[in-house]
Amino acid sequence: MSKNQALFERAQRTIPGGVNSPVRAFRSVGGTPRFIERAEGAYFWDADGKRYIDYIGSWGPMILGHVHPEVLGAVQRVLANGFSFGAPTEAEIEIAEEICKLVPSIEQVRMVSSGTEATMSALRLARGFTNRSRIVKFEGCYHGHADSLLVKAGSGLLTFGNPTSAGVPADIAKHTTVLEYNNVEQLNEAFKAFGPEIASVIVEPVAGNMNLVRATPEFLNALRERCNEYGSVLIFDEVMCGFRVALGGAQQVYGIKPDLTCLGKVIGGGMPAAAFGGRRDIMAHLAPLGGVYQAGTLSGNPIAVAAGLKTLQLIQRPGFYDDLAKQTRKLVDGLTGAARDAKVPFSADSIGGMFGLYFMDSVPGSFAQIQQGDTRRFNAFFHAMLDAGVYFAPSAFEAGFVSSAHDNAIIDATIDAARGAFASLAA
């Protein structure tokens, strides 16, 4: 028995499913999860000592690669001063100033500890600001595991949403309307029906949790126009795509200014940190200034802030995003070419340092289209690449990530491995 297998069996005795986040369990792809012991640059090593090229990057945060020496140094410098204080620090001001500088739509920002906490708090703030209850979200967009957001579409357009998780009361789910991503017509119909009730629309402008799916400019412009028309708060969930697709996030790419933005992943540099922020008049409704309560013992934790602040400083290097996008595009073009040579139906897309792999002929634009992909072939490809020492997300419904540590040799090695993997699928 491998050490990975032994650890997984041991973990299942004390941890539900043997993991602390469901996708890690390999349930959708089969097989044994890899238990990671260490990481460096673009690689990590499992409990059996096998090295992998890492394309999840802790699900996005490791934009500089693992154990970047300057980030590590920043963390080590603050460690000696204490782990957490439960009181303000100057570093919290510095990271807030940096975020507000880099994302102009954010006039004030509140630090939290997770993306779920950021989206949950932003929605509460939007409801408190508008004094309305209904929120609108879109199929395939994941905004964390707060009750209001674990909702799927109802049986027909404009029906109440249905809970997608046990433990979510129907009385909560009924306040969430779920629409099709990139469907402007549905959006307009929803606002005609419910406009004065809608507190907020929350959206991933570049979705990463149904695989990578880009919003169309028409869709995001319609969102901005309807929210302006009805006084609803537009929330961009950029927990994943923020600082990943561009220095100013997806809102910079699309040229659209949301009212609130949720951030995470990169702003913690691999440590547990997230944030939400936006218009000053909306943020003024947060306690202690206003009546919308939000608090967190470890919010603005000095160690997480040190890692995040140094990461935000380093990604501002001239040419950083051009280089990152170039390497990511080289990866997806190489994979597409390898699949074409093997005559395997496949497409891929990338934006900034995010990418999506689809076992279908064209790049999808909605959750319904994503579901038409060949998951059986994806699973076989995943395991063939894993055997070859390349670690992609263990699900056909997750985006992947490239870091600045993924140099030409690493990308070339990945494409070489993919040629063999695709050939095995065609056999």
The catalytic residues are: 142, 237, 265
Residues 6+ apart with CB under 8 A from 304: 113, 268, 269, 271, 272, 273, 298
Token digits of residue 18? 């043997």
Cα–Cα distance for residue pair 172/179, rounded to 1 Å? 17
Residue carrying the six token digits 């929350």: 202
Cα–Cα distance for residue pair 334/275, rounded to 1 Å? 35
Burial profile 248-262: b = 16 or more Cβ within 10 angstroms, e = fewer:
bbbbbbbebbbbbbb
What is the gyration radius of the CA atoms in the chain, in angstroms?
A: 21
Nearest residue to 111 (alpha-carbon basis) of 145, 81, 88: 88
Q: Are strands 151-152 and 162-163 parallel, antiparallel or unpaired?
A: antiparallel
Distances (CA, A) of 1 to 26, 31, 51, 71: 18, 13, 19, 37
Cα–Cα distance for residue pair 212/218, rounded to 1 Å? 18
Residue spans of alpha helices (H) in 43-160: 69-79, 90-102, 115-130
DSSP 155-184: SSTTSPPEESSTT--HHHHTTEEEE-TT-H
Cα–Cα distance for residue pair 60/78, rounded to 1 Å? 24
Token digits of residue 228? 């302006």
Task: Count other C-beta atoms under 10 Å from residue 72's C-beta.
Answer: 15
Distances (CA, A) of 10 to 19, 225, 252, 270: 11, 53, 46, 26
